[in-house]
A and B are shown apart, each in its own frame.
Chain A
Amino acid sequence: MSLSKNMVPEDLAQELFASSRAQEFGLSLAGFTRALERASKGAVSEAAIRALRLEELALAQGCAAGNEHAWDVFLVRYREKLYDAARQVTREESSARELADSLYADLFGTRTQEGRRVSKLESYSGRGSLDGWLRTVLAQEWVNRFRKTKRLVSLEEQEEAGAQFAAAAPEVNAVMDPAVSAATDQALAELTAEDRYILAAYYLDERTLAQVARSLGVHESTVSRKVERLGKKLRKDILERLLRAGRSRRQAEEAMEVDVRDLAVDVRNQLKKQARGQGLPAPD
Chain B
Amino acid sequence: MTEKPNTGLPKSALSRLRAQQGGGAPAGEHPDANLLAAFSEQALEAGEREQVLMHLGRCADCREIVALNLPAVEEKSFVEEKRGWLGLRPELMRWGIVGASAAVVVAAVLLVKPELESPRAIQNQVTIAKPTDRADQAVGEASGVAREAPKLTAGVADRATEKEAKKADEKRRDAASERGYPMAAPPPPPSALGVSGGSSGGVLGGVMSPKVEEGTGRAAGAAAANESKDMRTTPAVVAQSQPQANAPVPVFAEEDRMQASQAKTLAKQKVDEDRKMMAADSNTVAARATKSEVSGRRFQLAAATRTWRIAGGKLQWSGDGGASWTIASLPDGVKAMAVDAGVPGVVWVGAASGMVLRSADQGASWTPVKGLWRGDVVYLKFQDAVQGTLRTSNHEEWFSEDGGMVWKRR
Residues of A at the B interface (CB closer than 8 Å) are: 48, 51, 80, 84-85, 87-89, 91-93, 123-125, 127-129, 132-133, 135-140, 142-143, 147, 160-162, 176, 180-181, 184-185, 187-188, 193-194, 196-197, 199-201, 203-205, 207, 210-211, 214-217, 230-231, 234-235, 238, 253, 255-261
Contacts and interface: CB of A to CB of B under 8 A. Distances in A.
A176 to B, nearest CB: 6
A147 B7 CA distance: 34
B7 A231 contact: yes
Nearest to B232: A162
Contacts of B40: 128, 132, 136, 215
Pairs A-B, 8 closest by C-beta atoms: A196-B57, A139-B68, A128-B37, A193-B53, A128-B38, A127-B38, A132-B37, A217-B42
B283 interface: no
B311 A80 contact: yes
B391 A203 contact: no
A256 B67 contact: no
A230 B9 CA distance: 8
B289 interface: no
A259 B15 contact: yes
Interface string B2-25: 000011111111111111110000
A161 to B, nearest CB: 6
| Majority-rule SS of A interface residues | helix
Contacts of A216: 42
Interface stretch (B28-36, B96-104, B161-169): B28-36
A238 B17 CA distance: 14
B108 interface: no
Interface of B: 6-21, 32-45, 50-51, 53-54, 56-58, 60-61, 63-73, 75, 229-232, 310-312, 337, 352, 375-376, 378-379, 383, 391-395
A197 B34 contact: no
Nearest to B409: A161
B15 A176 contact: yes
A176 B12 contact: yes
B10 A238 contact: yes
Given A135-B37, A200-B63, A234-B10, 15 more contacts: A87-B378, A91-B393, A91-B395, A92-B376, A128-B37, A133-B37, A161-B231, A162-B230, A162-B231, A197-B57, A199-B17, A205-B64, A231-B7, A231-B9, A258-B11
